[in-house]
Structure 1
Amino acid sequence: MKLGIIAAAIFAAASAVMSPLAAADHKDGKAAPLVIGHRGAPGYLPDHTLEGYALAIELGADFIEPDLVATKDGFLIARHEPNLVDTTNVSQLPQFANRKRTVMIDGFPQEGWFASDFTLAEVKQYIRAKQPLADRDQRFNGKFAIPTFDEVIALAKRKSDDVGRTIGVYPETKHPTYHQSIGLALEDRLLAALSRAGWNRRDAPVFIQSFETANLRYLNRKTSVRLIQLIDANDINADGSLDFTAPYDRPYDWTVAGRTGLFKDLVTPAGLAEVKTYADGIGPWKPYIQSWTSAALLPPTNVVADAHKAGLLVVPYTFRNEASRMPPPFGGVPVREYIRFYELGVDGVFSDFVDTAFAARAMFLLATDSNYDECLTATRKCDRDFD
Structure 2
Amino acid sequence: MKNKLVIAHRGASGYLPEHTLESKKMAFSMNADFIEQDIVLSKDDVPVVIHDIYLDDVTDVAQKFPERQRKDGRFYVIDFTMKELETLQVSERFNPKTHQQVYPGRYPMRQGKFKLHSLDKEIALIQQLNKETGKNIGIYPEIKEPAFHQKEGKDLTAIVLKVLSNYGYTQKSDRCILQCFDAKELQRIKTELHSNLYLVQLIEHPEEAKQLAHFASYADAIGPWYKQIVTGKKDGKWIFSNLVTEAHGLGLQVHAYTFRADDLGEFSTFNEMLQTVLIDADIDGAFTDFPDKVVQFLEERSKES
TM-score using structure 1 length: 0.72
Corresponding residue of 1:17: none
Deviation, 1:128, is 2.1
Q: How does 1:179-198 map to 2 (within 5 A)?
A: 179-198=149-168
Residues 78 and 273 (structure 1), Cα distance of their counterparts in 2 relative to 1, 3 Å cut = same
Corresponding residue of 2:252: 312
Deviation, 1:102, is 3.3
Corresponding residue of 1:266: 208
Corresponding residue of 2:66: 97
> Is the 8 Å Cα contact of residues 233 and 239 (structure 2) preserved in structure 1?
no
Per-residue CA distance 1:277-309 (angstroms, 9 max, x = gap): 111100000011112369966411111111011
Q: What letter is aligned with 2:298?
A: R
Per-residue CA distance 1:2-43 (angstroms, 9 max, x = gap): xxxxxxxxxxxxxxxxxxxxxxxxxxxx75211011001111
Corresponding residue of 2:74: 112
- d(CA) in 1 for partners of 2:16, 2:288: 13
Corresponding residue of 2:97: none
Residues 265 and 282 (structure 1), Cα distance of their counterparts in 2 relative to 1, 3 Å cut = same
Q: What letter is aligned with 1:97?
A: P
Corresponding residue of 2:147: 177
Residues 297 and 84 (structure 1), Cα distance of their counterparts in 2 relative to 1, 3 Å cut = farther
Deviates more, 1:67-76 or 1:150-159: 150-159
- d(CA) in 1 for partners of 2:234, 2:290: 23
Q: What letter is aligned with 2:66?
A: A
- d(CA) in 1 for partners of 2:62, 2:235: 41
Deviation, 1:266, is 2.9
Per-residue CA distance 1:304-337 (angstroms, 9 max, x = gap): 1110110001000000011xx1122x21x21221
Indicate which of 195, 217, 238 corresponds to 1:277: 217
Corresponding residue of 1:57: 28
Where structure 2 has 5 or more consecutive residues not aligned to the other structure, the ranges are 95-100
Corresponding residue of 1:129: 90
Q: What letter is aligned with 1:275?
A: F
- d(CA) in 2 for partners of 1:102, 1:199: 39
Deviation, 1:144, is 1.4
Q: How many residues align?
A: 293
Indicate which of 336, 346, 350 corresponds to 2:283: 346
- d(CA) in 1 for partners of 2:234, 2:131: 45
Corresponding residue SS for 2:277: helix
Residues 297 and 76 (structure 1), Cα distance of their counterparts in 2 relative to 1, 3 Å cut = farther
- d(CA) in 2 for partners of 1:367, 1:301: 27
Q: Does structure 1 residue 224 correspond to structure 2 residue 196?
A: yes
Where structure 1 has 5 or more consecutive residues not aligned to the other structure, the ranges are 1-29, 104-110, 233-262, 369-387
Deviation, 1:83, is 0.7
Indicate which of 105, 108, 111 corresponds to 1:141: 111
Corresponding residue of 1:259: none
Deviation, 1:99, is 0.3
Corresponding residue of 1:336: 272
> Is the 8 Å Cα contact of residues 30 and 291 (structure 2) preserved in structure 1?
yes
Deviation, 1:342, is 2.3
> Is the 8 Å Cα contact of residues 339 and 364 (structure 1) preserved in structure 2?
no
Residues 345 and 31 (structure 1), Cα distance of their counterparts in 2 relative to 1, 3 Å cut = farther
- d(CA) in 1 for partners of 2:9, 2:236: 26
Q: How does 1:201-212 map to 2 (within 5 A)?
A: 201-212=171-182
Deviation, 1:366, is 2.1
> Is the 8 Å Cα contact of residues 216 and 229 (structure 1) preserved in structure 2?
yes
Corresponding residue SS for 1:64: strand
Q: Does structure 1 residue 35 correspond to structure 2 residue 19?
A: no
Per-residue CA distance 1:135-187 (angstroms, 9 max, x = gap): 02216635111111111111221121233221111111111111111012211
- d(CA) in 1 for partners of 2:145, 2:237: 32
TM-score using structure 2 length: 0.91
Deviation, 1:265, is 3.1
Structure number having the greater helix percentage: 1
> Is the 8 Å Cα contact of residues 292 and 327 (structure 1) preserved in structure 2?
no
Corresponding residue SS for 2:131: helix
- d(CA) in 2 for partners of 1:122, 1:167: 31
